[in-house]
Structure 1
Amino acid sequence: MKKTEGKIDSKKDIRVLSKDQLREFFVQEGHKAFRGNQVYEWLWSKACYSFDDMTNLSKSTRELLETHFVINNVQVDHMQKSEDGTIKNAVKLHDGLTVESVLIPTFSRTTACVSSQVGCSLNCKFCATAQLKRMRNLNPDEIYDQVVAIDKESRMYNNMPLSNIVYMGMGEPLMNYNNVLKSIEMITSPEGLGMSPKRITLSTSGVPKMIKKLADDEVRFNLAVSLHSARQEVRAQIMPFTEKFNLADLRESLVYWFQKTKKRVTYEYIVWEGINDTQADIDALVDFCKAIPCKVNLIEYNPIDSDESFQQASDIAVANYVKQLENKGITVTVRHSRGKDIDAACGQLANKQ
């Protein structure tokens, strides 16, 4: 139920209904079933947030919808623009909670980084979001709305439609599995936004059971794993939850993923000074990469507040990673952060605004 100005609104959120349920509603109300098709198109293909804007419906039909339903769309409460063109949105949800999403433009593409949870279920020590407790999972429509908002901003500020989506914002997507997959369904469906699943990447910190479920569900989007160390003792120190989801199980799940999907995995990897910058760390990563076809993104570290526990490794250490990975035939890219001046870079999303 939605609280508005001290009152409780018991109207149902219309976007929880399937197309068949919308058709059934109209039949029960004495209308033709195809009205449900029309409303479904307004909600998911046209991203309409007002019943009054559904112009091919009669006034009485719009009033019927208004009587029974609400559209709990998100609102961009605050927008910040970086010197490099990156945009960060503070997105207010219908219950007053806030998440952040990011638009990352380049010359050839525009990428939306979207959140899947308010806060996070995990406890990675180097991530600002992990310092927030997980308050709740986002609904499919709340994830969808982030994409719609960023697409509008991309067209407005870059004169380009949104081309790619990464589930790399706040939260662990695989801990909100059903809602995340439903949001991707609506983003990729011809009855939704119609984006190609090949342009969507889900990034996980590594939940083996759920990675196997992705494979079993025959998803068509891309998978990235925040690895950061291929040595269990090191990874457990910086990502304590991995004591339950160890590297051996993660490796097994990724082999299963590749066997089922034939899609290579991207490993996201930050090199920190004094943590994972030794030869032993490089050797472990090379060995881990042997399991399946993959590529490695070496990511620049983005400090969070005054925490000095993690420091970006030297250029020499990063170059050493690159050289040895390439010598073993492993594709590797060094990624430089965007939006650091507005705390929009990887690991920095924490609702500071």
Structure 2
Amino acid sequence: MKKKKDIRTLTKEELRNFFVENGDQAFRGNQVYEWLWNKACYKFSDMTNLAKSTREMLEENFVINHIEVDQMQRSKDGTIKNAVKLHDGFTVESVLIPTFSRTTACVSSQVGCSLDCKFCATAQLKRMRNLNADEIYDQVVAIDKESKLYNGIPLSNIVYMGMGEPLMNYNNVLASIEKITSPEGLGMSPRRITLSTSGVPKMIKRLADDQVKFNLAVSLHSARNEIRTQIMPFNKTFPLEDLRDALIYWYEKTRKQVTYEYIVWKGINDEQEDINALVEFCQHIPCKVNIIEYNSIDDDQFEQGSDQAVAMYMNQLEKNGITATLRHSRGKDIDAACGQLANKQ
């Protein structure tokens, strides 16, 4: 028995060719493509504008390796976390974050992670594999349905901040964004999508060269090499000087500001020297800083910085004309906050 191909790996042109080669008309490929990407259809039997014989032919030749929401948890603050089962048995997590003004999907791009940030639960899993474009797209579809069901409104924003380093799965991440933003897909505006990276200079430059339209966020957490390398060891390979140059290149090519995500930890990056270094790093290109809460992963090495230290950061940034926002975590009670996604269930 021949192994069936996942139909969502085919382009629209390849689908059109398949039908021509099988004695049918090319426009059938357009119809199937619309079912797959615009209507997010997971069953050939549901493609009702195709003849039964056509649907049976598709069933004989292809599969649709879609995800399943294996477990859903709801936080007391309304946040929803999905344990998403992939076709090969692996599991990743995605999160729906509702607020008064928007509903945001936080999606994963890898099973585990390629990098080794000490404060992140996902990094402790190591990378098992990259997600395919359709597996990322499916997370968005699932969260959009949940948002409509529980909040009565469709999804408004997407952040690639879940499990994994998106830039280490470059092609699939960009292919997923193309499907999500295309009028033939979900039709979302790229301005409502943010890709968050720990900072891979070469790939940030590639994003700029590809003239992407979505937003870029960088998990910075320290603007001093010695400190950043302690908490994010890959910084030894990709030091701040290289990251700075890549971000300058990004801005020159795209004219889009960057958001820096920054956690203040007690005894790690809560001194005046740390604040001065961040202010200096922010001078290179237009940017804003999100000071975010530390979400515990049961590691006594890290402890949230004091309110006084956070206030010092905020005051110094604002004094230097840098937009700074204090972000409060959502979904902490179900381990759905930033840095906590690790398939504990």
TM class, shorter-chain normalised?
over 0.9
Provide the secondary structure at the position in 2 that maps to 1:99. Answer: strand
Report what 1:327 is aligned to: 319
Report what 2:334 is aligned to: 342
In the aligned structure 2, how far is the partner of 1:26 from the partner of 1:10? 19
Matches within 5 A, 1:13-52: 13-52=6-45
Deviation at residue 133 of structure 1 after TM alignment: 1.5
Q: For this pair of structures, how many residues does the alignment match?
A: 345
Unaligned runs of 5+ in 1: 1-7
Report what 1:104 is aligned to: 97
In the aligned structure 1, how far is the partner of 2:165 from the partner of 2:127? 10
Provide the secondary structure at the position in 2 that maps to 1:338. Answer: coil
Deviations 1:213-250 (A, max 9, x none): 00000000000000000000000000001100000000
Matches within 5 A, 1:68-217: 68-217=61-210
Provide the secondary structure at the position in 2 that maps to 1:64. Answer: helix
Provide the secondary structure at the position in 2 that maps to 1:224. Answer: strand
**Consecutive aligned runs of 4 or more in structure 1 exceeding 6 Å deviation:** none
Provide the secondary structure at the position in 2 that maps to 1:100. Answer: strand
Deviation at residue 9 of structure 1 after TM alignment: 7.0
Report what 1:65 is aligned to: 58
Unaligned runs of 5+ in 2: none
Report what 2:300 is aligned to: 308
Deviations 1:36-59 (A, max 9, x none): 000000000000000000000000
In the aligned structure 2, how far is the partner of 1:286 from the partner of 1:9? 60
Identity of aligned residues (%): 79
Deviation at residue 282 of structure 1 after TM alignment: 0.2
Instruction: Tell me the TM-score normalised to structure 2 length.
Output: 1.00
Provide the secondary structure at the position in 2 that maps to 1:141. Answer: helix
Q: Which amino acid aligns with 1:244?
A: T
In the aligned structure 1, how far is the partner of 2:113 from the partner of 2:259? 22
Q: Which amino acid aligns with 1:347?
A: G
In the aligned structure 2, how far is the partner of 1:19 from the partner of 1:192? 12
| CA shift in 2, pair 1:92/1:9, >3 Å | farther
In the aligned structure 1, how far is the partner of 2:33 from the partner of 2:118? 42
| Counterpart among 290, 293, 302 of residue 286 in structure 2 | 293
Q: Which amino acid aligns with 1:320?
A: M
Provide the secondary structure at the position in 2 that maps to 1:212. Answer: helix
Q: Which amino acid aligns with 1:351?
A: N
In the aligned structure 2, how far is the partner of 1:107 from the partner of 1:142? 28
